[in-house]
Amino acid sequence: MTRRFESQLYRHVFSLDAVSVYTFQLLRVAEMALIRQALSLGIIVTSALMIWKALMCITCSESPVVVVLTGSMEPGFKRGDILFLHMSKDPIRTGDIVVFNVEGRDIPIVHRVIEVHERRDSRDVDILTKGDSNDVDDRFLYKYGQNWLNPQHITGRAIGFLPYVGWVTIIMTEKPLIKYILISALGLLVITSKD
């Protein structure tokens, strides 16, 4: 081999080696960025779950925040309002606004307590509720044959509200396509962000 050919061959091999090293470094940086983005997404999800669990502990309620889904509590609470709940040890009284679950229904109901009966023989408490804008009590909402709620049906009492903010939840529930678009956009934002 001639010296000139060796020199050209050396430069060619060296430049290929530099390109492959550079390519490897770029792939490594991209891989690290992807790992970093996945960790960021994991931290966001974990933080949200931790905040929710902390709220559950602070409020003593399995559902510390609920959205009013119907107009049955108007004019006090409108559809789309968010209610903040607390489940205190105080006895439930007539006039309290409570959130309760009924067997056979997946969605919690927000209504006012209109009657409370304490049975003397067993100290059990019977509760009757009604929506403020409804004409009749809620017995038709309860499980068939059930005329009263018990304290175990109650998930919390309303202690505050934020108007209109719950519309986001209502829209995403009623129009799933919007929910998928929003979740995809947020996921894309997390993945493509530099921080």
Quote the pLDDT of residue 120: 81
Fold of 65-164: Umud Fragment, subunit A (2.10.109)
Residue 167, CA distances (Å) to 35, 65, 68, 175, 184 in order: 35, 14, 9, 12, 19
Give the residue numbers annotated as catalytic, written as ranges: 72, 111, 138
Ranges of residues in the chain whose predicted pLDDT is under 50:
none
**Beta partners for 158?**
85
Quote the pLDDT of residue 90: 87
pLDDT, one tens digit per residue, over 57-93 is 999 988 899 999 998 999 999 999 999 999 988 889 9
CA 63 centroid distance within chain: 10
Quote the pLDDT of residue 59: 92
Burial (CB count <10 Å: 0-12, 13-18, 19+), residue 37: middle
**Beta partners for 145?**
none
- pTM, to two decimals: 0.70
DSSP string, 53-119: HHHHHHHT-S-SEEE--SSTTTTTS-TT-EEEEE--SSPP-TT-EEEE--TT-SS-EEEEEEEEEE-
Quote the pLDDT of residue 23: 74
